[in-house]
Structure 1
Amino acid sequence: MSRRHRAVKRQVEPDIRYKSPLVAHLVNVIMKSGKKNLAQRIVYGAFEKVSEKLEKGDPVDLLLGALENARPRLEVKSRRVGGATYQVPIEISFERQESLALRWIVDAASGRKGIPMKEALAAEIIDAYNNTGNVVKKKEDTHKMAQANRAFAHLRW
């Protein structure tokens, strides 16, 4: 990471089918080894399954609802002061909140063994939308950790 200049944020091109940068970001998170076509098939298949199961309309809106429930507001970062290392709670920018939530959803979906990724991703999106599941638990654990270490908030930099 450069100390002189801040890296310029690149805009993600909107998705082809849903015209949403958020869906394009999800595709990029799922993509491995440059296989974007496969990642798109997984995401689109998951969206179809989510639409079938919830019957609430646009899957992008459902993804937004799931992200709203999965986004962490705080996290802890290690800070070394003297000889001790403290876990300092910090607030997270919106972009990082979104990235973490998407990454957690994809990780939780890939952790579900025995079912295809389309179905696992759909199940995780539905769970996050309903405020249940591994992703919401991870968010709550992150918040608990930040809450437990709020005594060290004065060490924020």
Structure 2
Amino acid sequence: MNIDLLKQKLSNETIKYLFFGSLNIFIGWVIYFVNYNYIIEKENVEIFDFLTISPHIFSLLSTFPFTFFMGYFFNYYFVFKYKTDNMGKSMYRYFIACMGSIVINYILLKLFVDLFGWYPTPSQILTTCLVTLYSFSMQKRFTFKTVPIK
């Protein structure tokens, strides 16, 4: 498929979302991989001696702050140019949408790793691909929606 045909099928906004989203996802996967394999070394993480978090879930949660802020700024400054809201309001909505992504991500990781017994890093990659569909819809229709001017 040549690039002109791709541009005809996808909007400029969608192409930008795919590019910056892919960049954010790739950085998130690297952080997840390094955290899971080298920082916590595939071990459970105990917090305050009463909460134990599995390594794949802890890696997911510790990756979130990085991908949250990078993703928000990529979308705010480069992808959704028609925004009319202030930054604080759209960041709040972005946070709400991301919480939905985290819940879906958590459920799918628990399913793939704990129930199916798949390896955590490929499971996270598959999960990310599925969550991206939800995320794009939320960013376009909720976080950075066009607000009518009165």
Per the normalisation by structure 1, the TM-score is 0.33
Task: Indicate the structure with greater helix content.
Answer: 2
Per the normalisation by structure 2, the TM-score is 0.34
Task: Indicate the structure with greater strand content.
Answer: 1
